Structure 1
Amino acid sequence: MHNVGSVDRAIRLILGLVLLLSPFLAAGSFAGLGAWRYAIAAVGLVLIATAAFRFCPAYRLLGIQTCARR
């Protein structure tokens, strides 16, 4: 069952791509973060996955649904 709508999905995809790529493309500015840059990339990967599958487990637990009801 889907619980992520179109606008939410687009925002997740864009933000996920930024978070996934920024620690590696701007390595100099993230150099002091050490292992945190991998955590930032992991959050980006989770956002991309939730956008791709149109399902967010946190939304399910909180009873949130941003997609149109059928």
Structure 2
Amino acid sequence: MTINMGSADRVIRGIVGVVLIALVFVGPQTPWGWIGIIPLATALIGNCPAYSIFGIKTCKTKPKH
């Protein structure tokens, strides 16, 4: 499994995931907030399966010498 997400992408996904999960406990308190586990997990792992399918890569690649 390769890393295909850049640091900005990972930070944004992490924030969105935490906010969605917080909605389970505060605010409307609906179980839909648990969907926040997905962006939080992809942020922690650094790999997005959808990016792999579509060939998207937001991380900076190191040039090989």
Q: State the TM-score, normalizing by the size of structure 2.
A: 0.83
What runs of 5+ residues in structure 1 fail to find an aligned partner? 32-36
CA-atom RMSD, angstroms? 1.3
Runs of 4+ with >6 A deviation? none
Identity of aligned residues (%): 39
What runs of 5+ residues in structure 2 fail to find an aligned partner? none
Q: Distance in 2 between matches of 1:38 and 1:54?
A: 25
Tell me: higher relative CO, structure 1 or 2? Use CA pairs within 8 A at least 6 residues apart.
1
How many residues align? The count is 61
Query: Structure 1 or 2: larger helix share?
Result: 1
Q: State the TM-score, normalizing by the size of structure 1.
A: 0.78
